[in-house]
Amino acid sequence: MHSNRAVSEFRNVYDMTKRIVVLALVLLAAAWTGACLPKIQRPDIQLVGVRLGTLGLQGGLLYVRIGVVNPNDFALRASRFTYDIELREPGGEKETWTDFVDGVYDREVVVQANDSTVVEIPIEFRYTGLGAALRSLLETGTFTYRVTGTVNVEQPIRTQLPYKHSGTASLTKFD
């Protein structure tokens, strides 16, 4: 009778020890995996240039140059950029923004570790709804903009990184 009790206690101790070892291995694996995954710093994305393509009666084509700076110690491979560009209406006490254009750029872009690149995106636009912002551009050659969007990063891990930037630009010079 004592031997059955001893065997039962041994099995309980063995099962508990087995659970502790498995739990320790799971925690060790989780810590190791977390340490191996690179921490991704958000790339700096900003409008660095605009080149006029064509103008027509209802709209035109601009080539918007977006600078992408990769502050990471590894290359980033992005498969898609979304963008939403707004123009500031000049004058007035209250800031008013007009939607200019939004869209998706679906071409792969690779930015090497601690490097930068410029992506030129062709953007078709319409004059409708631009009002004072368009007049300001035609009169002064400059406009105030803000751009927001996301970058779909494919490597080193899949993630979607938001970005935003604002500034003043002209067709020939950027601040």
175 occurs within a structural domain:
no
Mean pLDDT of 82-97: 82
DSSP 142-164: EEEEEEEEEEEEEESS-EEEEEE
Structure-model confidence comparison of residues 90 and 28, the more confident one = 90
The domain total for the chain is 2
Q: Are 81 and 150 in contact (CB under 8 A)?
A: yes
Q: How many of the other CB atoms lie within 10 Å of CB of 30? A: 10
Average predicted confidence (pLDDT) for the chain: 77
* Residues 100 and 30 reside in one and the same domain: no
Residue 90 preceded by cis peptide, ω within 30: no
- pTM value is 0.63
* Residues 55 and 87 reside in one and the same domain: yes
- Tokens 């001893």 sit on residue: 6
Structure-model confidence comparison of residues 140 and 109, the more confident one = 109
113 occurs within a structural domain:
yes
* Residues 33 and 97 reside in one and the same domain: no
* Residues 108 and 143 reside in one and the same domain: yes
Residue 129 per-residue DSSP state: T
- Tokens 């004058």 sit on residue: 91
Per residue in 112-166, pLDDT (tens digit) is 999 999 988 888 888 776 766 666 676 777 778 888 888 888 877 788 888 888 8
Closest CA to 40 of 74, 86, 4, 91: 74
* Residues 19 and 104 reside in one and the same domain: no
- Give, for 62, the enclosing helix (H) or strand (E): strand 59-69
147 occurs within a structural domain:
yes
Rounded CA-CA distance 164/5 in Å is 69
Model confidence band, residue 27 (pLDDT cutoffs 50, 70, 90): low
Per residue in 45-68, pLDDT (tens digit) is 777 777 778 878 888 888 888 888
Model confidence band, residue 110 (pLDDT cutoffs 50, 70, 90): very high
